[in-house]
Structure 1
Amino acid sequence: MLADDLRDLAPRESDWVTLDSARVKAFADATEDWQFIHLDPERASKTAFGGTVAHGFLTLSMLSMMSYQVMEGIPGVLSSVNYGFDRIRFVSPVRVGLRVRGRFAVASVDEGDGWLDVHWDVEVEIEGAARPALVANWITRLYLG
């Protein structure tokens, strides 16, 4: 029954989250990616970005947090893990300080013994922007209990 319920699930959105300079700096330190376009507002202002931008992989990694909100309250799920991506495209850079949110739609569900693989069509929207930060086809494995 859960697989059919997921297939019929309407698209869901996460809350907005700000990709502020503290979060970008923490990500840079964690990944050792200290490229100036993420951290130096003066130098970044002279680039095509016009200012500092969040790491694409930071934006991508926020999907985990966003997915917790989207999957909250789905009965019968003991845990979930990231199973992988079929496609990821970084469409637009996110200027530091802007807010993003995830929009998740179930594309398909594969059933196994005690688990479901949920294939999500995901878009990370930038508040006030016409184009998303990223689009992805993401697979999460749900373990059932």
Structure 2
Amino acid sequence: MTEMTFDDLPQSVGHITQGAPFALGEEELDAFAKATWLDKAYLDDIPEFPETLVEGFLLLSMLDAAAKLASPASSSTMWGLNYGLDRVRFIAPVHMGQRVLSTYEILAVEPKDNGYKVLRRCTFTVEGQDRPAMVADWWSLAFPRGTVERARERS
């Protein structure tokens, strides 16, 4: 499937998308610590905590951007938003500079209002490793383009 349209969603169960590899560096780790106040909450250094270890919640926060960059979804026919997570597991460590590979598999598509709830299994794996670093089951809502605009006009 090259570009998935809104009308393609009901038949997309089982579709797998591979994202481009990415790596997180010191700049991203520092920015995340500052934005989430981890730099304030953990003032005392924990000597046994490796400085190069990527925080699990930083990986989780990458889901949306990495999925958007990997997605063949047509932004001209639909738009989506976060609906929630059913399950998240941090299985293996990720360290600064390691290349992370992302995979997204559509597990379910269910009608919801004028759109669909879409469940994707999102897997991040460090390149060269067998075990995934993180697996998250993530629900999104997808609506046909124009739905939000029409709702705003009625408000």
Residue 122 of structure 2: aligned partner: 122
1:28 matched to 2:33: yes
Q: Please give the TM-score of this superposition, normalised by the length of structure 2.
A: 0.77
Cα distance in 2 for residues equivalent to 1:17 and 1:137: 20
SS in 2 for 1:93: coil
Deviation at 1:99, TM superposition (A): 1.6
8 Å contact kept, 2:17–2:71: no
8 Å contact kept, 1:77–1:142: no
Deviation at 1:114, TM superposition (A): 2.2
Q: Please give the TM-score of this superposition, normalised by the length of structure 1.
A: 0.82
Q: Residue type of the partner of 1:141?
A: L
Q: Residue type of the partner of 1:74?
A: S
8 Å contact kept, 1:14–1:70: yes
Residue 3 of structure 1: aligned partner: 9
Deviation at 1:2, TM superposition (A): 2.3
Q: Compared with structure 1, are the counterparts of its residues 8 and 137 closer, same or farther at alpha carbon in structure 2 (3 Å cutoff)?
A: closer
SS in 1 for 2:38: coil
Gaps of 5+ in 1: none
Q: Compared with structure 1, are the counterparts of its residues 129 and 54 closer, same or farther at alpha carbon in structure 2 (3 Å cutoff)?
A: same
Residue 71 of structure 1: aligned partner: 71
8 Å contact kept, 2:106–2:121: yes
Deviation at 1:75, TM superposition (A): 6.7
Number of equivalences = 137
Gaps of 5+ in 2: 1-6, 146-155
